[in-house]
């Protein structure tokens, strides 16, 4: 019997492509963010609010992933920025190859910000690097405050947690302090912003976070995903 030591990542092919994408984003000064949540937490809504808040001519683009339909792309296209749907056809996450293909005919030198909306899922997207500068996890108060403990991987790997739908707090038993404590337990350094895409509360903090991150990105280049 012959034992061959392999010592390679299982997803080494994905990581290789993600590494190439990260280099390209860095070279062209594109801040790429990977937005992840369970279905219905409000990923498309925060993207709508984000695009709405940008000046015409801002160099922003969106890739949006879904298993089926291009409904999200249609919702987002009305703001006049480039939007492209990635339909995974059953796959529960985006991978680097899908992003590479979707970007094939876009000129990265014309972009400052690329927002990627992952497939609604808190598990699988955690494993796939897309070349992003940071992952952002979104949790809505219509869910359980124990989500960070149930899905520690994605909360650990995300730089920022957006707590959405806070306008619903008077009507749901969600304990926001507990949610924050749970997220901190999994990832002590995670940043948190409370928002409501419906009322607009907290969006100014989100816009500021984006601007700061964009400025830092221009000065220092990309950080590694972890």
**Given the rule CB under 8 A, which residues bind other proteins?**
1-13, 91-93, 121, 123-124, 126-127, 149, 151-154, 156-157, 185-186, 188, 226
Residue with tokens 């219905």: 40
Q: How far apart are CA 132 and CA 215, in angstroms?
A: 16
Q: Is residue 42 within 8 Å of 164, Cβ to Cβ? A: yes
Contact 132, 225 (CB under 8 A): yes
Both tokens assigned to 52: 């709405």
Phi, psi of 107 (to 5 degrees): -90, 110
Q: Which is nearer to other proteins, 57 or 224 (CB)?
A: 224
Whose Cβ is closer to other proteins: residue 104's or residue 226's?
Answer: 226
Tell the smallest beta-carbon distance from residue 21 to other proteins (Å): 18
Q: For residues 46 and 53, is the Cβ–Cβ distance under 8 A?
A: no
Those residues with Cβ within 8 angstroms of residue 192's Cβ, 6 or more apart along the chain or in another chain: 160, 161, 162, 163, 180, 183
Nearer CB in complex with other proteins: 4/104: 4
Nearest Cα to Cα of residue 156 among 136, 132, 186: 186
CB of 20 to other proteins, least distance (A): 18
Tokens 């928002």 locate to 195
Q: Which is nearer to other proteins, 53 or 152 (CB)?
A: 152
* For other proteins, the closer CB: 91 or 198: 91
Closest contact distance (angstroms) between CB of 120 and other proteins is 12
What is the smallest separation between the CB atom of 187 and other proteins, expressed in angstroms? 9
- To other proteins, the closest distance from the beta carbon of 67 in angstroms equals 12
């Amino acid at each position: 019997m012959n034992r061959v030591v392999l010592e390679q990542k299982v997803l080494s092919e994905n990581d290789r492509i993600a590494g190439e994408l990260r280099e390209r984003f860095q070279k062209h000064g594109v801040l790429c963010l990977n937005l992840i949540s369970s279905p219905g937490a409000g990923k498309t809504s925060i993207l709508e609010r984000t695009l709405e808040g940008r000046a015409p001519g801002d160099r922003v683009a969106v890739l949006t992933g879904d298993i089926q339909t291009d409904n999200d792309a249609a919702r987002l296209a009305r703001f006049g920025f480039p939007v492209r749907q990635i339909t995974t056809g059953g796959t529960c996450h985006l991978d680097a190859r899908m992003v590479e293909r979707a970007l094939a005919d876009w000129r990265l030198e014309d972009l400052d910000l690329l927002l990627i909306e992952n497939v609604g899922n808190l598990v699988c997207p955690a494993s796939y690097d897309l070349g992003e500068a940071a992952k952002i996890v979104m949790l809505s108060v219509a869910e359980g405050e124990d989500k960070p403990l149930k899905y520690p991987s994605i909360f650990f790997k995300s730089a920022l947690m957006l707590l959405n739908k806070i306008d619903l707090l008077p009507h749901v038993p969600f304990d926001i302090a507990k949610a924050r404590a749970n997220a901190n337990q999994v990832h002590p350094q995670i940043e948190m912003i409370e928002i409501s895409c419906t009322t607009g509360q907290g969006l100014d903090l989100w816009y500021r976070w984006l601007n700061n991150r964009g400025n830092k990105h221009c000065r220092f280049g990309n950080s590694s995903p972890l």
